[in-house]
Amino acid sequence: MPLNDRKIVTIILEQCDGIEERCDGYKEEIIEVVSDILEFERGHRVSATNIQKKINEKCNAAARFLATRRSQSTGTEEMNS
Amino acid sequence: MKLLRAEFQNFRMLRDLQLEFSIDPNTNLTVIRAANESGKTTILHGLQWALYGDAALPDKGEGFRLHPIDWDEREGNRVPIIATVEFELTTYRRTSGEVRETRRRYRLVRSAFEEVDGGTRRFDSTVKLFALNETGASPIDAPEALINDELPPELREVFFTDGDRALSFIEADVALSTKRERVQRAIRSLLGLGVVDGAIKHVRKSAAEVNKKAKQVGGSDQLNSIATRLEAMENNREKLETDLEDAKQQFSAFDEKVDEVDREIAAALQKGDKVKLRKDLENARAEISQLDSQLAAANKEHSALFRGRSIATGLLTPVLVGAFNTLEELHNQGKIPNTTIPVLYDRLEAKVCICGETLVPGNPDGDNRRAHIQKLIDDNQRADEIQEIITDLYYSTKSLQGGRGAETSAWQEEFKKVVERRDGIQTLRDEAGRKLRALEMQLDSLPDTDIQGLRETRRRYKDLRDRYLSKQSSIGTQLTGLSREREVLEVERDRLLREQKRGARILAELEVTQDVMKILKSAYQRITNEELRKVSELMNSVFLEMIGADPEQGSMIQRAEISHEFDIIVYGPNDRTLNPDRDLNGASRRALTLAFILALTKVSEVEAPNVIDTPLGMTSGFVKHSILRTAVRESTQLILFLTHDEIAGCEEIIDESAGLVFTLTNPVHYPKMLVNDPGVSERRVVRCECDHRSDCQLCLRYEDVQFEL
């Protein structure tokens, strides 16, 4: 993260409040994704990295988490019904 | 970043100098006391050179010597120049839901060589960075990247400020767009907008990748079609954003050029407008030609007066009066005109005299009388020629005799008028001649600046600038339209994905990228709007406090703000805009720049040093104390280079706030300014531990002695 790490982290965390909790633990997952992306950006500035690949993977992992939770929840609902 | 210490070798007059800086949060001020020409600005340059290289030197280091000017070539022709800076970095990382603080110390060493045989040739500097730990120092690769990340070059002027030139954000010598760009760049950089912006771009690409996957889901032509359209729109958006960025840059570049040409025109006009002068010269010549014609006509008129009858009458009147009288007398006597001869012939013919006596021939009395009359006729005939002339004279001068006085006075009147007119024209002609000569001389003294050409260039640049401005707005409109259209299509695509069995996973990916994007965008907005407002408000309060202005008490300066266009604006009474360059005094301008720098650093919560050379110059009394107090309060680490005069009166503030104070002395100031001989023959800055209240054998100056007396 750049010179004002603390400030940006605080602001980003505040903005996460407005995100829909799409599944249990989703918001926390997204906070981690955003924090990591900013970390990647900072690292990328100091030393060029394959940042796009890293971000794609990060988003992909969060999507897998969301999809899995959703399917689990649907399964539970189906079992309950 | 906090600066811990610095060391210089052979950097101009810093032949061998070590400095330490206070990092105590309670006494964050370091004061380096130094008289003029004792290395203050050199240290400022040295620190920046260490961190940023030649780019940070005046004129980007071009022709800027680094080695000591009195370098003794017997010590070698190749002078090693070394600047070392040690600093501490604090990083914050969010791990397991908590923000953790880490402090690391580094040593940066920049070195270069200069060859001094005859001229000066500098070889590229090399920079090395070491992480300092308990066991020693470990080298770090690519040190520039770390420095650029921690102390971005665009913020160099925020962290390293030359008090005398601390005006780059408000100075008049640059275009408005350049000032805006500087302010915007500093704000963007210090508030971390660049990083968030970069993240938005990368996440947007991720979203585009996911959209491509949606095309491959199959099962729905409509989904495929929408995903394809979204892909095309994304490509279009990227192109438009590149074009927009280009248009913005072009606009700024041409705005700067317009401003540059404006300055050239103004400078040339100050000396004189050659084109206008040439036109004036032409007009002056035409005026002279016209006056010359008028003068020639007046001269003609003048000479015509001397050829006229009235001047002759006027001039000859005294002489002619006698002649006129004689003629009149002759006339009165009946001698003119001559009428005798015809009467006598008539009488001879009639043979009777006027008196009635006979004139009959043959009659003796008649013959006698006739002989007498004949004699009279003969006598008269002899005098006739003279008489005829006199008669002519009498009648021809009759008209002259009539208006003798009036003619003279008319001539005099006319003469006066003609002379006055001619003299008036001559005066105008003389003036026009002098004017012409002055213009010629002015024109000769002018440099060959083609103002007309410059105006033409300005018009061309302005046209191009306006064109790019209009292009920006056109692209902006296209992007807004594109964004609306895309939102609609995305909703439809997501709906179709939900209908597909294989679409759930892709939908999740899209939702993640959209949520991340939303967070980043709102963070970006928040930083741009709210944080900018905070910087603006803090700058205002710091500035007013520094200059002791109280808007409630009707002070001349009411407030200062940073506009949404990133202009630093100062307001006077009735919200009248004040021009910082014209309407603010030197102390207020300095205070405004320092207030901006301090507010920006404070709001960004960046831990960074503010190194300021002579911040209190041009200030005194309240403003001086206030600037110092406020700077100490608002800065995380404040390093000030102060002259003895700047310190005078601020000792108590330094007592309270300074963690470190030391003095630098230039030995060449002995014997004129230094009391004691430092025993150093070369030009070099030497340090002693004297603080703002003490002097030693080395640093004692005559003004201090006089002050104590």
Secondary structure (H, E, C), B452-516: HHHHHHHHHHHHHHHHHHHHHHHHHHHHHHHHHHHHHHHHHHHHHHHHCCCHHHHHHHHHHHHHH
pLDDT at res. B339? 65
Instruction: Find the CB nearest B146 among A18, A39, A46.
Output: A46
Determine, for residues B195 and A30 on separate chains, whether the beta-carbon distance falls below 8 Å. no
Which of A4, A30, A73 best tests the B interface by mutation, with the highest count of B CBs <10 A? A4
If one compares B143 and A57, the residue with the highest pLDDT of the two is A57
Instruction: Say if residue A39's pLDDT is above 90.
Output: no
* Residue of chain B whose alpha carbon sits nearest to that of A48: B145
Smallest CA–CA distance, residue A21 to chain B, in Å, is 10
Instruction: Find the CB nearest B195 among A28, A42, A60.
Output: A42
- Which residues from A are below 8 Å from B497, CB to CB? none
pLDDT at res. B171? 65
Domain ranges of chain B: 205-272+461-527, 283-443
Distance CA B386, CA B363 (A): 35
Q: Is the dihedral of CA B533, B536, B539, B540 positive or negative?
A: negative
Determine, for residues A66 and B605 on separate chains, whether the beta-carbon distance falls below 8 Å. no
pLDDT at res. A1? 35
Determine, for residues A7 and B604 on separate chains, whether the beta-carbon distance falls below 8 Å. yes
Instruction: Find the CB nearest B605 among A6, A35, A47.
Output: A6
Q: pLDDT tens digits, residue range B103-125?
A: 889 999 999 999 887 777 888 88
Distance CA B371, CA B367 (A): 6
Determine, for residues A5 and B513 on separate chains, whether the beta-carbon distance falls below 8 Å. no
Q: Are B511 and A66 in contact (CB under 8 A)?
A: yes
* Residue of chain B whose alpha carbon sits nearest to that of A71: B504
Ramachandran assignment for B486, one of left (phi > 0), alpha (psi -120 to 50 degrees), beta (any other): alpha
Task: Provide ipTM, 2 decimals.
Answer: 0.92
pLDDT at res. B20? 96
pLDDT at res. B629? 94
Instruction: Say if residue A3's pLDDT is above 60.
Output: no
pLDDT at res. B395? 77
Q: Of B178, B25, B65, B22, give the one whose Cα is nearest residue B611.
A: B22
- Which residues from A are below 8 Å from B516, CB to CB? 30, 33-34, 37, 59
CA B669 to chain centre: 38
Q: For residue A5, what pLDDT band results from cuts at 50, 70 and 90?
A: low
pLDDT at res. B166? 54
Instruction: Say if residue A81's pLDDT is above 50.
Output: no
* Residue of chain B whose alpha carbon sits nearest to that of A17: B519
Weakly modelled stretches of chain B, pLDDT under 70: 93-97, 99, 163-174, 218-219, 338-340, 399-408, 449, 704-709
CA B678 to chain centre: 46
Give, in order, the Cα–Cα distances in Å from B667 to each of B8, B34, B671, B675, B701.
18, 12, 9, 10, 11
The mean pLDDT of A37-47, rounded to a whole number, is: 83
| Angle formed at CA B527 by CA B526 and CA B529, multiple of 5 degrees | 65
Domain ranges of chain A: 5-80
Provide the token pair at B305: 């007066």
Distance CA B373, CA B347 (A): 9
Determine, for residues A47 and B504 on separate chains, whether the beta-carbon distance falls below 8 Å. no
The set of residues, in sequence order, having a beta carbon less than 8 Å from that of A36 and lying 6+ positions away, is A58
Distance CA B320, CA B318 (A): 6
Determine, for residues A3 and B150 on separate chains, whether the beta-carbon distance falls below 8 Å. yes
Determine, for residues A45 and B1 on separate chains, whether the beta-carbon distance falls below 8 Å. no
